[in-house]
Amino acid sequence: MRAMQVTALGQPLELREVDTPTPGPNEVLVRIHTCGLNFGDTLIVKGTYQEKPQLPATIGMEMCGTIEATGTDVAHLKPGQRIAAYAGFGGLGEYAVLPANICVPIPDDMTEIDAAAFLVAYGTSHVALDYKARMQPGERLLVLGASGGVGLTAVELGKLMGAEVIACARGADKLKIASKAGADHLLDSDTCDLKTDVKALGGADVVYDPVGGDLFDAALRACNPEARLLPLGFASGSVPQIPANYLLVKNLHVLGFYWGGYMRVNPKVLTDSFEVLFGWYAEGKLKPHVSHVLPLADSNDGLDLLRTRKATGKVVIQVDG
């Protein structure tokens, strides 16, 4: 089988021929159709992600495929069934062996491109806003990086959940995409005074931040009393240092959030979220925004689109094309 692999940290992926794996107990063999790229994939290549693979490694955190074979003790999945999975690794290969308990059957009317663009982006935003922040209808949600893979879903879900959404992104074209996703207010991160402009809109009750750096600092100072801040990534390359005295004065809550970590500590949080999200998809309330679909051999180009922030929404690799 073909697979795009990290063979040396900091170097481009290599397209290699590797052995097709065999499923063991409680595992399934999946023929991969599509793989959604995530910013975390670029960090794995650099060697700066929180989980470091043994090299050579096939990356690709989320994927859609068809079950080819099941190992022993797998009863709820059958060959021929289409699934989506967040596995952390393995999506940029033609086949992958996955734990059966992380494979989620997808709706019949869901395309394989949508499925590969769905789990991480929508799952991250839904668990962050609903389970962690307990966001309520009528609250004001500030989304930083609002045109990116997770940011755009936070705009879309925030509006669906009844929030007043302030979208902050770089440039008019990206803000136009956030507007189509339902944003009520648009702020250009290149030209706005985030603290002043958000305060003028009434302040933020929830801050969704995959960016970090100076924007987090400004958003912190634009918060209303008892606001909740969700630092869930640092695309700017700068990890904020949060002044505890400011949290004290305004009774603010900073909620650390690593979506993938729930796979180990409390997977029911994710499966409950997927049930809600797939229901909304089936009702036509959610539609993944995919800016690029590329063949497997062009996976390095897809990662570059994420590094340079030229993508909006998701970049999907067509593995079986």
Q: What is the pLDDT of residues 17-42, one digit of tens each?
A: 999 999 999 999 999 999 999 988 99
pLDDT confidence of 262, banded at 50, 70, 90?
confident
Question: At residue 162, does pLDDT exceed 90?
Answer: yes
Please compute the mean of the pLDDT values over residues 267-284 and round it to a whole number: 90
Q: Are 96 and 90 in contact (CB under 8 A)?
A: yes
Q: Give dist(CA 34, CA 16) in Å, integer.
A: 18
The residue type at 246? Y
pLDDT at 237: 77
pLDDT at 216: 94
Q: Residue 143 pairs with which residues in a beta bridge?
A: 167, 208
* Residues 172-231 pLDDT 10s: 999 999 999 999 999 999 999 999 999 999 999 999 999 989 999 999 999 999 999 999
The residue type at 203? G
Q: Are 99 and 109 in contact (CB under 8 A)?
A: no
Please compute the mean of the pLDDT values over residues 294-321 and round it to a whole number: 94
pLDDT at 59: 96
Question: At residue 314, does pLDDT exceed 80?
Answer: yes
pLDDT confidence of 263, banded at 50, 70, 90?
confident
pLDDT at 51: 78
pLDDT at 88: 87
Site of tokens 């989320």: 62
Q: List, as own/partner pairs, every contact residues 193-198 make where C-beta atoms lie below 8 angstroms and the sequence separation is at least 24, other chains included.
A: 193/218, 194/168, 194/218, 194/219, 194/222, 195/219, 195/221, 195/222, 198/142, 198/166, 198/222
Q: Which domains does the chain have, with CATH numbers?
A: 2-118+288-318 (3.90.180.10), 122-259 (3.40.50.720)
